Amino acid sequence: MSSLHGLGSVIYGKVCVTLPIPTASTDLSNHIIIVTGSNSGLGFEATRHLSRLGVGKIIMAVRTPSKGEAAKQQILQSTGKPESSIEVWSIDMDSQDSVKAFADRASLLPRIDGILANAGMMTTQFTLSEGNERTLNVNVINTFLLFFLLLPSMRRSEQQTGNPCRFAIPNSALHYIASLAELNEKETTMLERLNDPKRADMAGRYPLSKLLVLYMVREIAERGKTSNKGRFIINTPNPSWCKSDLGKEIESAGYKLAEKLLARTAEEGSRTLVHGVLADESSHGHYLANCHVQAPAKHATNRRGQGAQKRFFNELIVKLDSISPGIASNL
């Protein structure tokens, strides 16, 4: 039933929904927004929308600066905004050292109003990176490493400006079909099980990574309620199936036909991401679809899912603390 709901949401979004063109309810000319993976696809189109809306400074965080510079010029040419309104910074989301260096640099910004953590990957090939399966490393571990490292700066910015910083991580309707089998191992930790090349279910790894993102977003929002360190907003918007390079490994004719029939354009999907990074506090801790809060899969909200959510959060916090000692206290 969950799988059918996920498929239905894709079809409904494609056939029945016209996503609104992003607008800004406030003046964004003094805002600073970071977009990772912004030189192509959804990140590129989201950056173009943010530039059009008049964001004072956009940090295009990319793995290859030369591609980022080319994308920057293309965006500025289409929006007519000044050269100084966009900066290209280097980040490799598959490198903990790169993420830490980026966060150190970002902490020197006068304010941070939003982070669209768009960079991600999908593969069915098992590869270890920094001791972790690469999808897990990029989509989950280093994405939340970036969040926790930037959280003090996000809160400091809110205290100075009164504007809570948004941290938006793209999700997917594929989380509805994610299997919990890899999370039910009792003899090892979840992370050890997921990083085991002999038992890893790589066909389901991308959907599972998005479920884990949802777990973390929900748990962070819940645990952050009792903190007096300052407000922030974290959410996880689903752009739905979009034409992009994400599925470049899949060559089947059936996939290509389904993509042609059901997938949104990258520009259409980017509207949901811009909505997430500009959303108000009603989006905090939520899964968003079609620019609205939407109920996620039952295995994220039922008793079993809640147990898995708390266990994974605790494990990931220990992992992140080993990468950057003391990071857990930021929440």
Would you call 121 helix, strand, or coil by DSSP? Answer: coil
Q: Where are the alpha helices (DSSP H) in the chain?
A: 2-16, 41-52, 65-79, 96-106, 134-136, 142-161, 190-194, 205-224, 253-262, 266-278, 298-301, 303-323
Chain center to CA of 214: 10
Active site residue 176: no
Helices and strands (H and E) in the chain: how many: 12, 10
Radius of gyration of the chain measured on its C-alpha atoms: 19
Closest by Cα among 212, 171, 199, 204 to 319: 212
DSSP 8-class letter at 180: S
CB neighbour list of residue 326: distance below 8 Å, 6 or more residues apart: none
Residue whose pair of structure tokens reads 């004719």 in the numeric block: 253
CA distance 174 to 155: 32
What is the identity of the amino acid at 15? V
Structure tokens at 72: 């920057």
Q: Which of 57, 81, 210, 319 is catalytic?
A: 210
Hey, what's the torsion of the CAs at 248, 239, 154, 285, to 10 degrees? -120
Amino acid, single-letter form, for residue 302: N
Question: For residue 186, what are the CA distances in angstroms to 68, 180, 190?
Answer: 44, 13, 9
Catalytic-labelled residue, pool 57, 176, 206, 319: 206
206 is catalytic: yes
Residues serving a catalytic function are 206, 210
